[in-house]
Amino acid sequence: MPKEVLELIRRRNADRRKSHAFRALLARECEVNHWAHWRLEGTLREIHEDEERGVKAEYVATELPGGEALWRRTRPNGEYSRGGLPEARTDLMSKLMVDVATLDKKLFAPLEAAYDSLITMRHIRASLIRFVSSEDEEDQMHLQGFPEYELSELEGVKEDLDRLYRECIGRTLGSSDMRVRG
């Protein structure tokens, strides 16, 4: 067998292994971002439901070093809920984008859409934290109506994560596919 043919076979096998690795890594990122999405959606849903019921709950968002944020909701009767409000992760997707574009064209379109959606999700989270943490009345006014609009925006984020996950491993994201800090 000519040397060139052997080299072509070797390169093709290497590209297949890389593609498989990209898909495995991106599936994990979808799982971690699914968790972040679920937490942000739940938080916005709580605020929206409080607003619809006329509940005057107090919301506190505390940003910690490293990008993590803690969320606390306290109702007038003293009941409270709290939890983390993780940031959407985009670093790995950003790093892999050029390689995926050249190696696996079928994977690139859903990767690009998921990446763009996660940027939107980061903006929603940052806006929520700003509106809750600010002492500016205008920022606090933005909190009214914000959850309802952003919940509809988050639906598109979930769809794009699902599409990428399906392309990576052949099934949709479910509640059992959430990874807390992968």
With both helix axes pointing from N to C terminus, report the angle between 91-103 and 3-53 in degrees, rounded to the nearest 10. Answer: 140
> How does pLDDT run across 114-138, given as a tens digit for each residue?
999 999 999 999 999 999 988 888 7
Name the band, by pLDDT with cuts 50, 70 and 90, for residue 176.
low
> How does pLDDT run across 59-87, given as a tens digit for each residue?
999 988 877 899 999 998 988 889 999 99
Distance, first Cα to last Cα, the chain: 45
Q: How many CA atoms lie within 13 A of 122 on its CB side?
A: 13
Domains in the chain: boundaries: 3-50+89-177
Position 180 scores a pLDDT of 57
